[in-house]
Each structure stands twice: as C-alpha cells, then as structure tokens.
Structure 1
Amino acid sequence: MTSHTQKHPLIEQLIEQHIAFIEQQLLDTKYLQQESALLCDWLENKSLADFVSLEQVQLFFGDLLIHRDIPHNTLTQVGMHLSQALTHPINQNTTIAQVINPLHVDALAQYTASKTTQRQYFIAQMTKHPAFAHISTQLIQDVLNDYFQSHVTEKNGHVSRFMKIGKSMLENVTDLNLSQAIQQYLEKNVSKLAVLAEKLLNQQLSDDNVYQLHVQLWHERKNTPLSNVQHYIDPNDLTQTIPLLHQFWDHFRRSEFFAQQLQYNLEIWYAKQKHQGVLDLLDAIGTSKNQLVTQLQQHASSLLEKFIADGELKKRLQPQLQAFYYSPSTLELLQKL
C-alpha cells in the first residue's frame, strides 16, 4: 500500500479480522502444542548437515571463542558476584558435607589413587628440579645445624662434651666449620638425595596411601563451614583477580595453537555428528522430543501473550497485510467476489 492509495473501509475491516484471527490462533494453547509437535516431527527427519555446514560451525565458534571479547565490566561483575557468594551469611552455617556427596569424594579418591604412572612421573620431575634440591639441602642443613647447636649447649655435660669434640675434630680435618661441611656434603650428594627423595615419596604416596589421604582429609574437613574458604580466597580481591586470570585466557585463545586445535576438534566432531538427527543431538544433552515440545509450547505461549498484549504483533502485521490487500493483483481478485 502506497501513501497515495485510498483506504477502503471493507478492506480495512478485512485486515483487522485477519489480524484478530492470527492473534486468536497464536493464543490457542492446543494450536501451539500441535504446531510445536509438528515442528519436532519435521526436525526428527533432519540432520545437522541440513542446517549448518562445517564452515559455519567453525565460523561460529571462532567468533565466540577467539574474536569476541568479554567486556572488562562483565569480568568485574563476575568477580563481584563471586565475592558476594563467598561472603554470604549462609556459608557460616553450611558445612562441606552438606554440599558434597561423600560417595563422589570416594569415587574421586579411587580415581586419583589409580593414577600411579602419572603420579610417579610428577614425583620424578619434581625431585629432579634444581629448586627441589635447593630447598631440600637447605632444610637438612638447618635441621642438622639446629640439632648440633642445641646439643652442644645443653646441660647434660657428657653429651655436650661429646658433641664439642666431634665438631672440633670435623673442623680440624676438613678446615671447614660445621655448617660449611654439611653444606659441602649435601651439594656433592644432591643427586643421591633426589633419588632417595623420589623413592621415599613413591613409597609414601602409594595407591593405598593416596586413597587413605583423601579419606582422612574428608573426615577432617567435612564438618568445616564453607565460610572457611575465605582463608584461601580473599573475596575482596576477586574483582581484580578475575580480570587478571582472564588475561592469560585472552592471550591463549588468540594463539595459533588454540586456533588449530579448535579447527581440528571441530572437524572431528562435525564428521561424527553431521548425519545425526537434530533431535538425537538434543537427546545427547538430556532433552527428549516430548520435553522439547513442552518447552516450545510453554515459552512460545508466554512470549506471544506478551507480544500480542503490547500490540507489537498488530503493529508488524498491519503494514504487511495492507501491502498485500491493496496490491493490484489482490484488489483484482477481491473485485471478482
């Protein structure tokens, strides 16, 4: 309908009736349920490949995970809400056992205990690291020095005299004081210490010991209030630490490594899923056909009710219907009635 077309009262009434009919249909619960079921029947015979290609999937996830930035304000808001959750008063009266199932803890303990190869590899790498050797030798040196010093100065004369004689003989033979002698010995035998430490850690962290450690920690901590988490996480820092942690993710997601891994895994996923039915894919995430019909009908009903009540549907339908009814071909047909 152009601005120069003269409105016809009968056509205007027809348009109003047409709009009213559509609105009535869309507000009919049985009609929406039927249409939702028909839509799901149609989807049941369609596969993923009927709707999206591999390229479209890659473009979508590339945009979502690589090119789309999370606003700094959003990260700050996440930190604020986590902070509020940590400081909520209910945490003081809620224990760990009330929010974690002990059966799940047992399953985790069994799983962790079974990872013998991975645990041994980690211990080997840790004990061979120079930092471990430095800390170990420093600790042993301090303990031995403290032991000798405490016995040299103790009131028991025989033990003190024996310690002083031994200390004096060692220093005369080696031309080093006791602390230097211990340090020199430890530095020469640091590789032996690493091997011994690895052996002892593997003995102490056997499968059974790791499992028992989980059980022991659970029984020690299960009645601890959730508010104790604040001993490990400062709620006031979260608005700064969340954006800081995001910087690491932001750099990683822009790397060539991540881009290639994303592309590779999407190719594998799409090759396996492209011939799967759409409803089968939904079923894989726990949504059955009946649930989908119900959700479509419920959400569509509430959305359409609000859309119609606000006059938005009429506002959009009216110009389209006017363009249709006042078109030359439609007017010609109406004149034949």
Structure 2
Amino acid sequence: MQKNLMIEQLIEAHLQFLEQTFAQPNQVQSEFLSFYHWFTKQPLQQLWTFEQINTLIQKQILKTPASSFLIEQIVEHIKFALIHPSNDTATIADIIPVLTVDKIAQYVASKSGHRQRLIKTVVNSPAFSAMISQLIQHSIQDYLDNSVIAKTVPGVSRFMKMGKSVLENVTDTNLDNAVGKYLQKNILKLSQMSETVLNQHFDDQKLYHFQANLWHKIKGMPVSVLKNYIEVQDLPQTVGLGAEIWDFIRQSDYLKQQVHDAVYAWYIRNAARPFDLLLRDLNIDESLITAELQGLLNPVIQQMIGSEYLRERARHYLEQFYYAPETLKILAISE
C-alpha cells in the first residue's frame, strides 16, 4: 500500500490525541463510569439469554476438568493456612463467634424429630446390632475373667470358672455361644431398649448442654490443634481424591440437570432486573467502582502507552480507516 503524506500526518495526529487523552487519569475514570452507568441500566434479558449463560457454565465448569496446577495450588493454600504461625496464638473462639455457636446448639437441640429418626435408623441397622452383641459378650467374658471380686477374694475366681464349666456341661453348649444365641433372639428388644436410652440421653435439653460444654472445652484451644486431625503431608492425596470425586460428579447427568434447572430458576427471577441490582447482590456499586477503578486501571493504561501497545493497535485500525476508499474519496485523494 502506497503511503500518503497527508494521511500519515493525520494518523500521527490522531495517535498523539489518543495518547494524550488516555494519559489523563480522570479521563479513564470518566469513560469507564460512563460505560458503567449505561451497562447497569440494561436488564439481564436484554443482553444475555438463559441459553448463553447455561452453555458457558456447562462448558467451563462441568465439561472442563480442573487443571493439575489448580489442584496443586489448592493443596498449597490449605497447607499454608494450616501451618501459618498465627495458628499458635489465635484460639478457636477468636475465629468462631460464640453467639453463632449458641444458635447452632439451640437449632440442633430443637430438631428432636430428626434426631429420633436418626437414632431409630442407627439402632435398627445390622451393624449396630452386631456391635451391641459383641460388646455384651465381651463384657460378660471380661467380667468372668477379670472381676474385682474374683481377683481380691480368695477362691472366688476358681468358683466362677467352675460355675461356668458346670453351666456349659448342663446345657451342653459353650457359654459364648449360649449368650450369642440369646442376644440374637432378643436383639429387637435390645435395639428398642437402646433407642429408648439414647432418646432419653439426647433429649433437647441434654443435647444443648452437651454442645455447650463441648464448646467451653475447645474454645480456648489454639487453631493449630487442627493439625492433630489433618495430616499436612497427606494433603496432595486427600485433595486429589476430592478432585477425583468432583471430576466424576461434574460429568454426571444428575449434576448437569441440577445446574441447568438452577440457572433457569435464577434467570427467570432476575431476567427483568437491571445489572445495577444484580451487581448490588455481589456488593458491587458505583462507590466501589469510583474508589477502586482509578488505582486499578490507570497503571494498566499507562503500561499500554509506555510499551506503545496502544499506539500499535490504534495505528492498525486507523490505517484501515484512512486508506479506505470511502475516506480517500472524502479527502479527495486518488487511490
């Protein structure tokens, strides 16, 4: 393309105008605020459809696996939080408000119906029945073998063992087997008794005081006590397992449908709302933009000007404009 002196002078003047304009901090802030005012008055449905939002979320979150670098960063951040020196001086009460703990205790204690259903489910499970049976059998055997009376009173230990032997000879069965059969026949009654005892022990008032007492025991402990329950060296493995679970769930039809319906419900509720209200839900308003914008954007603009990136990009489009046939015709310049 043959250069034209007048056009080159116009382009250079235009570039100098742009540089001088954007070099003024107030100008950048003014332009962005103008755009912000326009943008925030637009209703959601005027700019984006539900399909666009849902497709973006489905693609970027559900269809895209977490990168190995992101997983490594999560591990490092958790590790950093656990080994931070301030954990040795900060107590649990410093980071968890006592009033919130009390509200949680009251809430949990008040859910007697949920608690009773949970206890019923647990005590009627085969695993609980087996555990209770083994516990009773072991307790009986331990009593016979290690009773305080048997150890302190001469002859009692031999008498108890003899009684056990006689019983086994008369019934023609092993005592452990006899006890086991009895428990097996009466396990339903034992489960019902366990359910009654647990409900009595964990009534609303007792459960509330249990939680309150637990809080008073732990509130003064340093936050570093968490390291007793979380193995720092195992974080790569545990976080990796969590990533594997997420990787499986995100590809499931279940989560895809859940996300689709949740986004649709949110969109229907907010379609007619302008963006200033949507941004306000995220605590973003004009005062935040005004206070933070200049400090964030001005260094970027100044770097673009200093590196001549802005000049190069602007020249690219200005040349297309000034050397366009329509512009040349206006300027009365032949191609």
Task: Please confirm whether the aligned pair reaches a TM-score higher than 0.5, indicating the same fold.
Answer: yes
Query: Does the 8 Å CA contact 2:322/2:328 hold for their aligned counterparts?
Result: yes
Distance in 1 (alpha carbons) for counterparts of 2:287 and 2:83: 41
Give 1:76's match in structure 2, choosing from 72, 78, 88.
Answer: 72
Runs of at least 4 residues off by over 6 Å? none
CA 1:228–1:120: 2 relative to 1, 3 Å? same
Per the alignment, residue 181 of structure 1 pairs with 178
Amino acid at match of 2:262: N
Any gaps of 5 or more consecutive residues in structure 2? none
Query: Does the 8 Å CA contact 1:79/1:242 hold for their aligned counterparts?
Result: yes
Give 2:111's match in structure 1, choosing from 96, 112, 115.
Answer: 115
**How far did 1:153 drift?**
3.4
Query: Does the 8 Å CA contact 2:137/2:179 hold for their aligned counterparts?
Result: yes
Distance in 2 (alpha carbons) for counterparts of 1:306 and 1:90: 38
Give 1:191's match in structure 2, choosing from 188, 199, 204.
Answer: 188
**How far did 1:324 drift?**
1.6
Distance in 1 (alpha carbons) for counterparts of 2:108 and 2:89: 30
Per the alignment, residue 17 of structure 1 pairs with 13
Distance in 1 (alpha carbons) for counterparts of 2:297 and 2:73: 31
**How far did 1:274 drift?**
0.8
**How far did 1:163 drift?**
4.1
Distance in 2 (alpha carbons) for counterparts of 1:211 and 1:110: 6
**1:151-230 alignment runs, 5 A limit:** 151=147, 153-157=150-154, 160=157, 163=160, 167-168=164-165, 170-230=167-227
**1:290-305 alignment runs, 5 A limit:** 290-305=287-302
CA 1:46–1:212: 2 relative to 1, 3 Å? same
Any idea what SS the aligned residue of 2:17 has?
A: helix
**How far did 1:133 drift?**
1.0
Give 1:64's match in structure 2, choosing from 60, 67, 77.
Answer: 60
Aligned CA-pair RMSD: 2.3
**How far did 1:230 drift?**
1.8
- How many residue pairs align between the two structures? 332
Query: Does the 8 Å CA contact 2:109/2:204 hold for their aligned counterparts?
Result: yes
Further displaced range: 263-272 or 153-162: 153-162
Q: Give a deviation string over 1:224-273, Cα, whole Å, max 9, x none.
A: 22222122111001111111121112111211111111112222111111
Any gaps of 5 or more consecutive residues in structure 1? none
Any idea what SS the aligned residue of 2:183 has?
A: helix
Per the alignment, residue 140 of structure 1 pairs with 136
Per the alignment, residue 259 of structure 1 pairs with 256
Q: Give a deviation string over 1:125-159, Cα, whole Å, max 9, x none.
A: 11111111111111121112111222373232485
Q: Percent identity?
A: 34
Query: Does the 8 Å CA contact 2:150/2:156 hold for their aligned counterparts?
Result: no
Distance in 2 (alpha carbons) for counterparts of 1:29 and 1:315: 21
Per the alignment, residue 272 of structure 2 pairs with 275
Query: Does the 8 Å CA contact 1:76/1:240 hold for their aligned counterparts?
Result: no
CA 1:76–1:41: 2 relative to 1, 3 Å? closer
Per the alignment, residue 235 of structure 2 pairs with 238
TM-score, with structure 1 as normaliser: 0.89
Correspondence 1:93 to 2:89? yes
Further displaced range: 115-124 or 275-284: 115-124
Correspondence 1:329 to 2:329? no
Give 1:102's match in structure 2, choosing from 89, 98, 102.
Answer: 98
Any idea what SS the aligned residue of 1:154 has?
A: helix
**How far did 1:27 drift?**
2.8
Q: Give a deviation string over 1:105-141, Cα, whole Å, max 9, x none.
A: 2222222222222222222211111111111111121
TM-score, with structure 2 as normaliser: 0.90
Query: Does the 8 Å CA contact 1:40/1:293 hold for their aligned counterparts?
Result: no
Per the alignment, residue 47 of structure 1 pairs with 43
Any idea what SS the aligned residue of 1:279 has?
A: helix
Per the alignment, residue 308 of structure 1 pairs with 305
Distance in 2 (alpha carbons) for counterparts of 1:39 and 1:30: 14
Distance in 1 (alpha carbons) for counterparts of 2:247 and 2:59: 13
Any idea what SS the aligned residue of 1:84 has?
A: helix
Give 1:7's match in structure 2, choosing from 4, 8, 18.
Answer: 4
